[in-house]
Structure 1
Amino acid sequence: MSETPISTDKPADEASEWKVSKGAYIALIAVVLMFSGAFLKVDGMAWLGAFDFTTLGGAFGTMKNPATNTFVGTGGLSAKAGFLFALSLVPTVMLALGLLEIFTHYGAIRAAHRLLTPLLKPILGIPGHTGLALITDLQSTDAGAALSKELYDSKRITRKDVVIMGAWQYSGAGLINNYFSIGSAMFASLTLPVIIPLVLMLVMKFVGAVFVRLMLNTVYKKDFDNE
């Protein structure tokens, strides 16, 4: 009586989950360029700024008397003011999630998983498909957090992954956007190239996340025994 051999191969859908095509790499490059700020200020090619997320998100215009001419009004406090401020963030977050959904459909997360796992797994202990959320956080903290939640809700990452990602995102959140908008006021007083502080802050994001990973694997190890 012959026995039916048990296949040790992964199911077809699981095996093809991370199959990466050339189009997926193109989608990943496009989303990285859009959210990294690379298109924001290109000498001689200002039109590329139209494809940058910061440009697409836009900004509120200036007013003659900012102290009184705001939709919140003078001295806006309490939960109502907080709600109105949060409401102003909704269009940007919706735009970011919509763009990410499009790029995800074309395989950007699969390509990120393939390319970034060899980098992120040894350093932070998280899978490569989290890289898209980390890259997004460089421009939009809200969109980065929303994408992290989406990964967790779909069970692609664990609670430990979320904590490590949170540590990376919380340190210097919206780094590129804030650095070149708010931080640009200090550029004239810098005695070193503008790129150096940016690189240093990016490195420190990894230092903070590595420290949190160390704490989770030692002091708080028992909290994640069931994962």
Structure 2
Amino acid sequence: MCVYSSETGIWAFKQLRTPCPLQVYGFNKSLILDGMVYKWDKRVDDDTGPGVLVVYDFYAEKGDDNQCRIIHLPGTYNKYVRRCLTASCGDVIYVEILYQRLKVWKLKSNNSSDGEWWQLTREEIDMLSVGFDVLCFPLGMNPFDTDLIYLWSRQHRCVVSGNLRTQEFTLHREAETWSDGEGSWRINTSDSKKYMEETYEFDTNSVITLSQYVLPQWMDPVPSCPPY
């Protein structure tokens, strides 16, 4: 993995070593949060499971047992499930939609002592009861509000925003480029159609991980990553 430091202005190559063999799904993107790298993968010896979350701590000392952790994802694998890995209010969030049932989990802690890593944030939501009786892809959560979720509707080919607390969901198909009004999310609808439907419609193994990071204004342009 290549990592860029805004302090030194230098790219560095870091080799992530895991405590067990992984299949290395290079297609899946990483989620970066508070100096930790979160990446979905599958164990070599468990091809039928939902996969694992690989957690790498850049600030841990070399040789520290906590530098790289393997955390099993909640639930069981099903070929019809659609999933995403996202972040909200400083927490890692895992979202699953299976048979029109929406579930949202929060990663409890990177140092869980009871072995229970995931916690349901609320009761599951029946998407049929809120007016969506066809398959939706979960895209992510609002970075600043754990009640707000964003989905992709296959039927309408557009973004759906939803409030998990009030269970109100809204289609956004009237605009070519949709924004949530707070600058938290901005999605180009036409580009998303091709990306979402060609990439994830048939690849049920994947866990969607869309970047929520925007370069701060004070940061200089990032140079291209050197070949390695």
Shared fold (TM-score, shorter chain, > 0.5): no
Larger Rg: 1
Could you tell me the TM-score, scaled by structure 2's length?
A: 0.24
RCO higher in 1 or 2 (8 Å CA, sep ≥ 6)? 1
Where is the helix percentage greater, Structure 1 or Structure 2? 1
Could you tell me the TM-score, scaled by structure 1's length?
A: 0.24
